[in-house]
Structure 1
């Protein structure tokens, strides 16, 4: 992701949170995936009308306090809460009725992409050159199994080798040369940079999916730790109005033209139909001045469509 700072979408306070129970697994020996169930079986189990009714919001209840940037979290089948503290750079576990327990010590890195499945917890850590807005110097997906053993996958190494959005151009799409010459350098055309920021993850049998905000892609990590690209999220076109042009100092000739923003995927979840649902927080101002540019994409996990 280039030139913009983004924030998480996982700030939530809700009482009476219901979590569907999942079958217990055998010893945790399966890397970044588990045997014993399929994505289709899980999706069918969560289909509306089969199993628990959707939760109803109750009175808010505080379960943990004094956290530093709790921007990503998950709740396992036993009601244990795992929280990634982005500003403290650590992962804590909150067992109902007990104080938070640190299970991934602070290392000065950004913690995100927390998810749980069958007794394991996955998260990411990222270190950047210039705070959280610089390109990554480290980007790892980590997993703590039921036995306490932590394994790690180097997402930045995959990004450097594959750069899934490396051929995608983010820019104005149809300016004539004279107008393009007047556009500020920071808005000149560029292609996807080498960057990785795993912001959301989803653990399923045999596979972990990752919404990588830096790569602008949905990734897949198999049981052996091999990383591959499921889908590259499309650029987000924004039509420049006179108000937008005036606010950020663009020449009048760009009014009415579209600028393609980076999509910046932030989370991934499994739908009841077996497809993956990916949220985005596109690059650019986050004050609403560009209009409603965030989206949720439906992605076929088998074809990437």
Structure 2
């Protein structure tokens, strides 16, 4: 039941009209606060972006991707300019070093058959890493088992396979499939970059020459299905009590001061509130290739950012808020509709929100644009 990121906008569009989602969101920023309290003093830097999947702060400049437009943009001294147009229609992850002299961005075509990381340095040829080729050759999560791993035996033969194939185009139980969707990138140092591949369910490393290797595969996300969850999915009632391994779907990667990586994940199934708040934050040890879940219970964890004080900030797209995780406790720092991407620099929190999009027979319609806003922490 792998949920790839582009489908998020359709789910958001459906949820914005639902009472359950409306009760979870608020259209204005949090009240004034400081320190570990709510963020305050919002300043809108852009009010016309569509899908700011990724952001990176370099000095006073705000770099961001407009995912569905397929561009890398920069806000500098109040001016918003297109830096580059991606080689594919979707551009997602972005990270910037050396004051913008070098930056890297991820891109995908519509069916994810061609996915890449482009490393662009001033005065040098582009370096391009081929993720779709690596996924076809290596498929790092090929040994992971997803879907029903126990229970569901009372169902009629073939009943669950028929349901999952019709609803999600996958069998009831399956191994990691060939699917690449690079969504976020972070600079590691020494010319290397880490990439969160939401389709491959892994964190990849790209060296200065564009060679790809695996840092870690994120673990499956098990859920014991309740009768209420089964009903919400519209699945056969005999699925209740079964253990289902959802895909982890990493959505961001950030490098901590100690060299370990922080990763946000979606739960890999329905990303709306129907199955509950199941997004998580992981710590990844890049030397041991190991993962440790640090927190869970986020409603649509589409991005994270690291504060200088050890706090971790999580964008909860379906929760309509940005959450601070510190010393094992969570608190809300910003409430806003459709927070999609975040970055922290010093005492400033930057939040990119997704446009209000309706999907119809003629394609997506933007009812209201998204935004990029700076808050004070």
* Range of TM-score over shorter length: 0.7 to 0.9
Which deviates the most, 263-272 or 210-219? 263-272
User: Does structure 1 retain, via aligned residues, the 8 Å contact 2:183–2:197?
Assistant: yes
User: Does structure 2 retain, via aligned residues, the 8 Å contact 1:164–1:217?
Assistant: yes
Q: 1:148 to 1:70 in 2, by over 3 A?
A: farther
Matches of 2:106 and 2:134, distance apart in 1:
14
Q: 1:149 to 1:75 in 2, by over 3 A?
A: farther
- Counterpart of 1:200? 184
Matches of 1:75 and 1:122, distance apart in 2:
13
Kindly state the Cα deviation for residue 178 of structure 1 after the two structures are TM-superposed.
5.0
User: Does structure 1 retain, via aligned residues, the 8 Å contact 2:105–2:119?
Assistant: yes
Matches within 5 A, 1:7-156: 7=8, 57-76=39-58, 78-98=59-79, 100-105=80-85, 109-118=89-98, 119-129=101-111, 136-147=112-123, 149-156=125-132
- Counterpart of 1:270? 255
User: Does structure 2 retain, via aligned residues, the 8 Å contact 1:4–1:285?
Assistant: no
Q: Provide the secondary structure at the position in 1 that maps to 2:96.
A: strand
Q: Provide the secondary structure at the position in 2 that maps to 1:284.
A: coil
Counterpart pick for 2:141 among 151, 157, 165: 165
1:291 correspondence with 2:269? no
In structure 2, the gaps of 5 or more residues are: 10-27, 30-34, 166-170, 291-377
> Could you give the per-residue CA deviations for residues 204-227 of structure 1, whole angstroms, max 9, x where no partner exists?
212100000010000001122110
User: RMSD of aligned C-alpha atoms?
Assistant: 2.6
User: Does structure 2 retain, via aligned residues, the 8 Å contact 1:74–1:82?
Assistant: yes
Q: 1:228 to 1:150 in 2, by over 3 A?
A: same
Counterpart pick for 1:191 among 175, 187, 212: 175
Matches of 1:106 and 1:124, distance apart in 2:
8
User: Does structure 2 retain, via aligned residues, the 8 Å contact 1:117–1:204?
Assistant: no
Relative to total residues, which structure has the larger strand share, 1 or 2?
Answer: 2
Matches of 1:106 and 1:231, distance apart in 2:
27
Which deviates the most, 192-201 or 62-71? 62-71
Q: 1:250 to 1:302 in 2, by over 3 A?
A: same
User: Does structure 2 retain, via aligned residues, the 8 Å contact 1:213–1:265?
Assistant: yes
Matches of 1:174 and 1:127, distance apart in 2:
36
Matches of 2:259 and 2:37, distance apart in 1:
21
Q: 1:299 to 1:54 in 2, by over 3 A?
A: same
TM-score (normalizing by structure 2): 0.62
- Between the two proteins, the alignment pairs up a number of residues equal to 256
Which deviates the most, 273-282 or 248-257? 248-257
> Could you give the per-residue CA deviations for residues 95-117 of structure 1, whole angstroms, max 9, x where no partner exists?
1222x221222666111111112
In structure 1, the gaps of 5 or more residues are: 15-52, 130-135
Q: Which runs of 4+ in 1 moved over 4 A?
A: 3-6, 53-56
- Counterpart of 2:200? 215
Q: 1:94 to 1:293 in 2, by over 3 A?
A: same
